[in-house]
Structure 1
Amino acid sequence: MLAKPNISFTEAKALSKGIETPFLVVSKKKIEENYTRLNLALKKRVGLFYAVKANPIIEIIEIIKNIGGGFEVSSIEEFRLVMDLNISSDKIFYSTPVKKKSEISYFCKQGIDLFVFDNEAEIEKIAQCAPKSQVMLRIQTKGNNSLINLSFKFGAEPKDALYLLERGKEMGLYPRGLCFHVGSQCFCPQSYIDAIKLCHEIFKVADSRGIHLDLLNIGGGFPIGYRKQVPDIDIFCKPINEALKHYFYSNNVEVVAEPGRFICADAFTLVAKVIGKSIRNNKPWYYMDDGLYGSFSGRVYDKGDYLILTEKDGYKTPSVLAGPTCDSFDVIYKDYDLPNLNIDDLILVPGMGAYTIASASTFNGFKRAKILVVD
């Protein structure tokens, strides 16, 4: 399935008469629908903790809160953002594997008693700043089937898992379980299955050494379609469910996940405008009022590849699509097939909810896209 715009060109034109572009149209219903679809696809047996980093706007957090979901946070500011809505600390999972001592102390004082680690130095910090806390060990995965390999930076090598778990116990901590992340925008469920099998083996070895684990975090990575088709989430999750049932559910292990992109990405559509055009080196250039320093920051940080929609028909030619800033780096696409566009033509870009406005800036004095919540 590919992400679809949640607004028509007719509706976008009407809105743009009173609201200056660029703006992002957000569908509350789509966020609720995505959460429910993933929950059902995982047979309601996996606790879902929305990854706030994907998109931290209050509206999403309120929706997830109202339907009973939890939240994965990676910083004090994300934690405060969630807590400002009176969300219970047991609905919050603090997942950062490497932290400042001051951050560990802060979270401990706020009632968070479960911390993630992936190295021995982190164990020592947690034992010092949050003694007797529960801990989870993050395990490295291959990340071969994902757009972004999130084990490049974090995750202990499996061969070191037992030593690190025993070291945590020796330091007075309580090892609760394992976590992994197969990578952002994962295209193949086999990555989850391999990681689940690996964690099962580590659970067994740990149990034989007197460390009884009962919590597994399978991370995020559930894909959505941008310009490339991905399987329906029910089909994608079927073999994951089978692996969890075979290796963990029979042993009364609690399983949680941290979806971000899947929850929010296709609930957002960007409405932008062509503000300039030119022919440079025999190629059409179109300048938009949003770019890499704004909503298209996902092109830089998330390897995002977005669908650009126009109302124009006719022959399409490889064109350059650039943002509004004075920086020559601010080029969104160098060879995107587009029809002939004119100044003030509107452009719709679906699938703009994840890792876009979360990393957008006000570089060069250009404001971030406004947020418009519908339904």
Structure 2
Amino acid sequence: MKLLYFIPSLYNPGGMERVLTQKINYFADNLNYEITIVTTEQMQRPCFYKLSENIKLIDIGLNFNADSGAGLLKRTFLHYYKLQKYKKIAEDKIKAIKPDICVSLGGKEIEFFAKLKSEVPKIVEIHFSLNYRKQFLTSNYKGKIWSVIGDIRTLQLKRSTKQLDKLVVLTHQDEIQWKKTHKNIVRIPNPNPLNPFYRSTVQNKTVISVGRLDAQKGFDMLIDAWKVVAEKHSDWVLNIFGQGEWEEMLRNKINLNNLHNQVILKGLSHVIENEYLNSSIYVMSSRYEGFGMVILEAMSCGLPVVSFDCQWGPSELIKDGENGFLVSPNDTQELADKICLLIEKQKLRLTMSINAVELSKKYDISNIIGQWTNLFNEVTKK
């Protein structure tokens, strides 16, 4: 099987990049698939996650991100120009490589992917919820206009994906939402990227959270919640792993609340598994999530999870009261209360830890790869 993938880049330490790398490494090394990846934003930067030597990476260097600071008129022109150039390059790559299937991870190519001049089956895997564009805009900008623009962008997404051979979503809720307008939907969850030999003892007085330091991940709300936790449990520490544009703001918020000894911004970690194993609770404070890979990672290491019940990822993995807690979105008091409950109830932590590990086994890589190979066989037989 010969596969051609399209993704903006692989230098970021994100969940989508991690999952793709895990899957294509398996395809290339275990199933002998021929894999080529086309990126637009890599710009000669190294991949954050190790890529198999059997995989070919081609960066076409269009760098859409470089235009974000331009004025509206110039940015619109550059976007259109680069998009047309990207479409031509994509069609040329398909002709040259002759893949059996093309797969997009939902980058800029999603706007033209279904219209590419090729009979090769086209699949898009969506690592975010249907309304993610609206969620992003309303989380980062104030004003009703951004909600309207978000609705327009959601409509554009629906229109651009209707003619695909398959559109892959991650959760049951996403499947329900997309099937209201699309007939080409299939649900395949992400595989668990970790397979730890050990499990956390959940005895250390450490809570962990992992993600980009930006509006989506909601670490500002987590710090607000931790202020409540710290008043009751000053001997517990919150470690936040990640980097991003909100780092300075979050650090200032930590210092302003006199939490510098209890909330630590740890930056990136290439051995995040060890950090999970040395923690006792995982907390997710996201405003929205596509799947929440970090929840699955944490559970595989035996951590109970406390998370906002945002759309849609957390509820796919967390069984409220069994392997963690789902709390009302953006309710920092309830988030703090559930963290405190797990801190104070050691037996509950242990029970939830066992249940978390059991849930994570459903997402073993071999199970998920089987679903993908079935899909590939289906679309190539049409």
Question: Relative contact order, CA 8 A, sep 6+: which one is greater?
Answer: 1
Higher strand share: 1
- The two structures have a TM-score, normalised by structure 2, of 0.32
- The two structures have a TM-score, normalised by structure 1, of 0.33
Larger Rg: 1
